[in-house]
Amino acid sequence: MLRAVLTAIFIFCFSILHAQPLFHFKVIASDKDTAALHKLINYRNILSDSVSSKKELALVFNQLYEKGFLLSALDSMQIDSTHLTAFIKLNKQVEWAFLSKGNVSEDLLNRINLKTNSFIEKNFYYKEIKSIEEKLVTYCENNGFPFAKIWLDSIVWKENLLSASLMIDKGKLISIDSIKVDGDVKIANAYLYGYLGIKPGDLYNESLIREINKQVDEIPFVQQESAAKIIFNDDKASIILQLKNRNASKFDLVIGVLPNNRVSGKVIVTGQGSLDMWNVLGRGERLTLSLDKLQPRSTEFKSALQYPYLLQQPFGINLGFEINKNDTFYIDVKKEIGLQYLFSGRNYIKGFVRNTSSSLLSVDTFEIKQSHILPSQIDLSVTYYGLEAAYEKLDFRLSPRKGWYLFASAAVGNRKVIRNPSITQLTDLNEPDFNFSSLYDSLPKKSLRYELLAKADKYTSISRTQVLKLSFQTKSLIAPDIFQNELYRIGGHRLLRGFDEQSVYASWYNVFTAEYRYLIQRTSYLFLFADFAYIEHQLPNNFYTDFPKGVGAGLTFQTKAGIFGVSYAVGQEKENPLQLRSAKIHFGYINEF
């Protein structure tokens, strides 16, 4: 122990004795106030040696030259073993006598908003000239001249006055010949022309060329094997993409095992299946189909088609169709057509027209005869006109570790009430003169309604194996009168876990989710979650609010056959406290192809 202590003391003392002394560096103005000089420069005054101080002196002169003191010079220098003092003669700042346009056209100068007469008797700044050169070169590169060169010519000095002329050599005018794909990839040229914004015959545009690799990386169904290559041949440029297929299409299946609230000791099995297919026709299109059996006598079918880049432009058409049979009560049908403006990846804005109709399958005529009141569900049709936008920036869509997903939609429409013959043709034997069709008279023929939806997902990487997902979703139907079959239905595996599928009715809902994931592999992880919600629904003579919540845990794991998952969740609402015997279990499977 004593030997170790003595050794440490010896090493410490030796290092002090042999430590290299610090070197002091100072700059002084020989012809002006030193304080004025120091306002123009920044430098380190404590350095390791004389070599470092001379390098620092060179950086000082670079700063002076950039600020127009091209005539500054080293007047003298004092140096010893620990100090270097530089005396600098600053001289006058260089000014422009004039800057002529040379052979640069007036039109080109106007394109970059440059007026050469503004340089007369103006201080010279190197960065300003550099900026002019960069603007001219950039404009040329983006308008068919990728080999343009800019320089100053006819430079004349007179004391501290400088005059010069701009000169340009544009080189050959280059246009795009083709975009070629190397690799066994089924992808139409029309899609690439529209997606990249580049097509044969276009003038060469460097700003678009530089975005190619980033844009191709964001195509879901292809993967780059190497960076894009540009081949020039005379006055033509060809773009070569080396691509291979990437699994983007997927089949998704979720099986739920839920307690049967009507029959003690029994369970209900629900199923949700979806098919998401990309680029089947080779034109970048996307087709989604889903079939959900969420309740014993309820079925929901959804389909959507996105067809991008019509006529090689960044516009796509979107078609949607949904049908939802809710037990034996009513059937909802949604039809939508939209026009998208497409950005890179899955980002877009869209205008749409959507028709929603709801038709009663059965009517409690006995209750209507007794009460002379319309039921809480009615036949209706609403045509919405709206806008929506989506933004996605995730590092890996299937199991993100960081990034954002944002979605927003707003729509306005008119509801039209449809009179049901099963009601209007009723006859009350006790009041034979009563006209049941008059029950609809108190309802406006058309009723304006607004629908707002917003969603945000944030993924944060806590460490290499830990991820935190925070989500918020809100949706609201704003209208003077709302019937039960107009309410949103949430709850279940997709939104507000721990509840029966689509068992929570709301005209306005807000759901916040916090989910912690512990990664085992890229797509395998354990997770804990908590869903918190606030809901409202306002029916005729019935206003209801609640704060339902759900908590649970699960596991997702990757195998050669696909991704499997299992989750366990329990929920709590106003009438139903948290009970483990009411837990919901879901089994999931995802296969990419």
Q: Return the axis-axis angle of helices 126-141 and 50-66, rounded to nearest 10°.
A: 70
Fold that domain 11-89 belongs to in CATH = Ubiquitin-like (UB roll) (3.10.20)
In the beta sheet, which residues pair with residue 457?
405, 471
Q: Cα 547 to the chain's mean position, in Å? A: 30
- Cross-strand partners of 358: 332, 380
CB atoms within 10 A of CB 498: 26
- Does the CA dihedral 110-116-118-124 come out positive or negative? positive
Contact at 8 Å (CB) between 248 and 287? no
- Say if CB 145 and CB 170 are below 8 A apart: yes
Distances (CA, A) of 67 to 124, 232, 271: 7, 40, 71
Domain 175-245: what homologous superfamily?
A: membrane protein fhac (3.10.20.310)
Q: Compute φ and ψ for 560, nearest 5 degrees.
A: -65, -30
* Contact assessment for residue 389 and residue 411, using Cβ atoms and an 8 Å cutoff: no
Q: Is 143 exposed, middle or buried (0-12, 13-18, 19+ CB in 10 A)?
A: middle
Q: How many of the other CB atoms lie within 10 Å of CB of 426?
A: 19
Helix (H) or strand (E) holding 177: strand 175-182
Q: In this predicted structure, what is the pLDDT of residue 351? A: 98
- Distance linking the first and last C-alpha atoms of the chain: 66
| pLDDT tens by residue, the chain, 593 residues | 444 444 444 444 444 434 456 889 999 998 888 888 888 899 998 888 888 888 889 999 888 888 888 888 898 989 888 889 999 998 888 888 888 889 999 999 898 988 877 788 788 888 888 889 999 999 999 999 999 999 999 988 888 888 889 999 999 999 999 999 998 898 999 999 999 999 999 999 999 999 999 889 888 899 999 999 999 999 999 999 999 998 889 999 999 888 876 667 678 888 999 999 999 999 999 999 999 987 777 899 999 999 999 988 899 999 999 999 988 889 999 999 999 999 877 899 999 999 999 999 999 999 998 899 999 899 999 999 999 999 999 988 878 999 999 999 999 999 999 999 999 999 888 888 899 999 999 898 889 999 999 999 999 999 999 999 999 999 999 998 999 999 999 999 889 999 988 889 999 999 999 999 999 998 899 999 999 999 998 887 788 899 999 999 999 999 988 999 999 999 998 877 877 778 899 999 999 88
DSSP 3-state assignment of 447? strand
Tell me the domain boundaries of the chain.
11-89, 95-169, 175-245, 250-592
Place of tokens 């599928």: 501
Q: How far apart are CA 199 and CA 314, in angstroms?
A: 13
CATH 1.10.10.10 for the 250-592 domain, yes or no: no
Alpha carbon 459 to chain centroid, angstroms: 12
Beta strands in 32-129 (DSSP E): 46-47, 73-79, 83-89, 95-100
Q: Is there a shared CATH topology between the 95-169 domain and the 175-245 domain?
A: yes
Residues in the chain: 593
| Contact (Cβ atoms closer than 8 angstroms) between residue 507 and residue 536 | yes
Pairing of strands 236-245, 175-182: parallel
pTM of the model: 0.76
Burial class (CB in 10 A: 0-12, 13-18, 19+), 343: middle
How far apart CA 134 and CA 446 sit, in angstroms, is 60
Reading phi first (left if > 0) and then psi (alpha if -120 to 50, else beta), residue 164 is in beta
Q: Which single residue is written with the structure tokens 């500054």?
A: 72
d(CA 207, CA 196): 11
Q: Token pair for residue 316?
A: 């796509």
Q: For the chain, give me the number of helices (H) and strands (E)?
A: 10, 29
Structure tokens at 20: 């290299």
CATH of span 95-169: 3.10.20.310
**CA–CA dist 534, 508 (Å, integer):** 8
pLDDT at 21: 62
Reported in sequence order, the residue ranges of 395-445 that DSSP labels E, i.e. its strands, are: 403-417
The total of other beta-carbon atoms located within 10 Å of residue 579's CB is: 11
Residue 32: what are its φ and ψ, rounded to 5°? -140, 180
Tokens of 277: 């297919």
Using alpha carbons, list the distances in angstroms from residue 477 to 150, 239, 422, 536.
60, 49, 28, 10
User: Alpha helix (H) ranges present in 211-278?
Assistant: 212-217
Which residues are bridge partners to 528 per DSSP?
Answer: 516, 553
Are residues 409 and 374 in contact, defined by beta-carbon separation less than 8 angstroms?
A: no
**Region for residue 289 given its phi and psi (left: phi exceeds 0; alpha: psi -120 to 50; beta: otherwise):** beta
